Chain A
Amino acid sequence: MGLLDYFRSSRPKGSASVAKERLQILVAHDRTQRGRPSYLPQLQQEILEVIRKYVEVDMNAVSVKYEQEDSHEVLELNIVLPDTAQGRI
């Protein structure tokens, strides 16, 4: 193998590059979660409960986004209502 290795110019992509890609995605995701207030999951749950009193919506119909900018924080709520009024209870 030593002789072959010597002449082979390009190596096959090793698992280290896979590890790096996976980590970059994971760490970026972890970091977005980091500065968030701890009440967010409960807030999301309670908002969902209130909406479900009136409209039949999916469990993941409410998304809560929290962004930190220099001087202020933005809390963005996005609620997807069903297409037709038939969703009403």
Chain B
Amino acid sequence: MARIIVITSGKGGVGKTTTSAALAMGLAQRGHRTVVIDFDVGLRNLDLIMGCERRVVYDFVNVINQEANLNQALIRDKRCDNLYVLPASQTRDKDALTKEGVGRVLEELAHGYDFIICDSPAGIEHGATMAMYYADDAIVVTNPEVSSVRDSDRMLGILSSKSRRAESNEEPIREFLLLTRYDPARVEKGEMLSVGDVQEILSLTLLGVIPESKSVLTASNSGVPVVLDRESDAGKAYADTVARYLGDDVPHRFLQVEKKGFLRRFFGG
């Protein structure tokens, strides 16, 4: 049976889709059969970030409405055989996602996959609640910034009250914090909330810290999940995050400013 992971945040633009793509690719590369589903009906973007936008024929809503079967809609990743993408519909609205329909699709997927990653839309409306409803684990993507932290906390409240596990009094969803766009230099200057500050406010298990990195935009420009960029800090940090999620004991990296040489420190710059 598959483990269902929701990538959520409340606030938009914090890196949910980037994270969904990176985590899905990371898990698949480690040998786990993984499917990543775009729940952002009407504003689909996961296909672009995954680089499979021209291969979309049928989508999640078609499968829910039984206009296509799962095998017709799933797109197999060209870089990794274990990875499949289920794109969102671009033309419908979010009400097309019904609790029964989503449940049926997840149930069917659960037999053939190890991990199902649900890329949630921003907000706390229908699409976001559908993405998290059936989750076993939640990864709350947060920027070290006031509105994002507040929205994450709001999302935690919803996870603990409106999910299937909450409604049926099962063991609650496991919640993890993933801090993205982290800038250690600004933290050191006291200009940005530190990872410790955010953890203290949200009291969540820290799964990873992704440093602010140019490679994220470069990766999305070319439709390559950033985890495949082994040279970049962000790529390495996502690979660490995947390893940590799978239970490896990996120390956090990129939390400190890289030490400058003595001369550069002395003369500034």
How far in angstroms is the closest Cβ of chain A from B90?
A: 34
Which of these, B150, B187, B266, contacts A16 with CB under 8 Å?
B187
Binds A, one of B23-31, B163-171, B188-196: B188-196
Return chain A residues, CB-CB under 8 Å to B201.
20, 23-24, 27
Q: A27-B153, A30-B153 are in contact. Are A16 and B269 (CB under 8 A)?
A: no
- The yes or no answer to A15 lying at the interface (CB within 8 A) is yes
Beta-carbon contact of A23 and B150 below 8 Å: yes
Beta-carbon contact of A6 and B265 below 8 Å: yes
Beta-carbon contact of A6 and B266 below 8 Å: yes
Beta-carbon contact of A17 and B190 below 8 Å: yes
Interface residue count for B (Cβ, 8 Å)? Answer: 25
A1 to B267, CA, bound (A): 8
A17 to B265, CA, bound (A): 26
Return chain A residues, CB-CB under 8 Å to B93.
none
- The yes or no answer to B197 lying at the interface (CB within 8 A) is yes
Beta-carbon contact of A1 and B268 below 8 Å: yes
Q: A20-B197, A23-B146, A30-B154 are in contact. Are A14 and B190 (CB under 8 A)?
A: yes
- Dominant secondary structure of chain B at its interface with chain A: helix
- The yes or no answer to B14 lying at the interface (CB within 8 A) is no
Return chain A residues, CB-CB under 8 Å to B192.
16
A14 to B186, CA, bound (A): 10
Which of these, A3, A19, A26, contacts B268 with CB under 8 Å?
A3
Return chain A residues, CB-CB under 8 Å to B197.
16, 19-20
Q: Digitize B28-52: 1 where CB-to-A-CB distance is under 8 Å, 0 elsewhere.
A: 0000000000000000000000000
How far in angstroms is the closest Cβ of chain B from A14?
A: 2
Give the A-B pair count, Cβ closer than 8 A: 59
- The yes or no answer to A53 lying at the interface (CB within 8 A) is no
Beta-carbon contact of A16 and B267 below 8 Å: no
Return chain A residues, CB-CB under 8 Å to B190.
11-17
- The yes or no answer to A31 lying at the interface (CB within 8 A) is yes
Beta-carbon contact of B193 and A19 below 8 Å: yes
How far in angstroms is the closest Cβ of chain A from B5?
A: 24
By beta carbon, the residue of chain A nearest B264 is A2
Counting chain B CB atoms within 10 Å of each CB, the highest count among A17, A19, A23 belongs to: A23
Q: A14-B189, A34-B157 are in contact. Are A3 and B146 (CB under 8 A)?
A: no
Q: A2-B265, A2-B267, A6-B266 are in contact. Are A26 and B191 (CB under 8 A)?
A: no
Q: A23-B201, A27-B153, A34-B157 are in contact. Are A16 and B265 (CB under 8 A)?
A: no
Pull 13 A–B residue pairs with CB atoms less than 8 Å apart, ordered by A. Answer: A2-B266, A2-B269, A13-B190, A14-B190, A14-B191, A15-B191, A19-B197, A20-B193, A20-B200, A22-B146, A23-B193, A27-B153, A30-B154
